[in-house]
Amino acid sequence: MSLSYQALPGRFHSPNNEDELAGNGRDLVEGKVGRSEIVGRTLLSLAVPSGGPGGVNYSIGRLFFIVNGPYFGYHKLRNDEEKQMDILGVKIDNLSKKEISEKVGFFLEKEKFHQIVTVNPEFILEAQKDNEFKDILNGADLNVADGAGIRFAFLRHCKLLKARIAGIDLMQEVLSLAKGDNLSVFIASYTGALSSWKEARDAILKKYPGLHVDGMDLDTKCPSEFAVSSDILFCNFGAPHQEKFIHSLKTLNQSKIRLAMGVGGSFDFLTGKRKRAPKILQKIGLEWLWRFCGEPKRRAKRIWNAVVIFPLKVMKSYEK
C-alpha cells in the first residue's frame, strides 16, 4: 500500500516513506503544523531519502522544491498507484524496476511482437513536431522513463516517478533474461556507427557467453529488405528513426521477434568506445553534464533542449 497526499491539483506519493507521510498527514489534520511546513518536510524527504542524496534525484528534487513550494496545500491521505503518466501528450509507464523486469520477462515468454521505448526529454520534444513518432510512442507496449528531466516532469505534476532506467541498463537486463531463457538476439546497427554490429556482438558475448547473437550494419534510409528471425532485436539508429524502423517490423508481421528496443548509443558503452558517467552522477541525474563535458559541440543543442527547453515546456503546460 502506498500512502499519498491529495494535492491541488494533483497527487504526490512516496512508497519508500509511508510512515513519515502518514505522520505528516496526522500533524496537518490535527493542526500541529501548517501546510508550508508539510510541503517542506515532504519534498525534502523525497529529495533526500534516509540513505542520503541519490536514492531519488537530489538535484531535481531541490529544483522542484524551489519552483513549486509555494503552490501546494496537502489536505488528505489517499491510497493510490499511478501506473501511467502523460507528459506533453506522450505516455510514460510509471513502474518500479522490479515491475519493469517482470514485464520484460512476460514479453519474452510470449510469441508476439512487443516494442519497448526508453523515453527521454528529447523524445518528447521530437514528438511535439512529429505526429507519426508520437503515435508510435503512445502505441508502444512499454515506455520506460530515461532521463532526469522525466522525473522533474512527474514532480511538476505532483507525481513521483518510481524508476528511471537508462537504455543501456535496460538493454543489459534484457540480455540477462535472454541468456537465462536461451533466446536469440539480433543487432541492427547503422552503417558508419561508432560501434559496428560485430563489435557490439563481441562485447555482448564477452559478458553473456553462450548467447546466440546475429546482426547487420544497415543503411537507415533503406532498410526495407531487412528481415530477422531472432527473438530479440536491438537497434541503434537514434530517435525517431529507430522507433519508426522497429514499428515498421511490427507492421510487416515479423512474428518471430518477441521484443524490440531502440538503444541509441548503448552499443558504444558496451564496446567501451564511450565511457558512462560515474555512478554518483548517474544517481543524481547529471549524466548529461558528463556527456556535455566530453563532447561539448556535439551535445550542446541536445543538452539545451533536455535541460532548458523541456522543463520550460512542462511548466508552461502545467499552467494551462
Q: What's the pLDDT tens digit per position in 241-263?
A: 999 999 988 877 656 899 999 99
Domain of residue 18: give its range: 3-79
As for how many domains the chain has, the answer is 2
**206 & 131 share domain:** yes
Burial of 122 (0-12, 13-18, 19+ CB in 10 A): buried
- Does residue 203 sit in the same domain as residue 301? yes
- In which residue are the cell numbers 535496460 written? 170
Q: Are 229 and 96 within one domain?
A: yes
Q: What is the pLDDT of residues 147-166, one digit of tens each?
A: 899 999 999 888 999 999 99
Q: Are residues 142 and 216 in the same domain?
A: yes
The segments of the chain whose pLDDT lies below 70 read 1-82, 221-227, 253-255, 318-320
The residues, ordered by sequence, that sit 6+ positions from 172 with a Cβ below 8 Å of its Cβ are: 207
The pLDDT, as a whole number, for residue 294 is 85
101 and 29, same structural domain? no
The pTM for the full model equals 0.74
- Same domain, yes or no: 221 and 128: yes
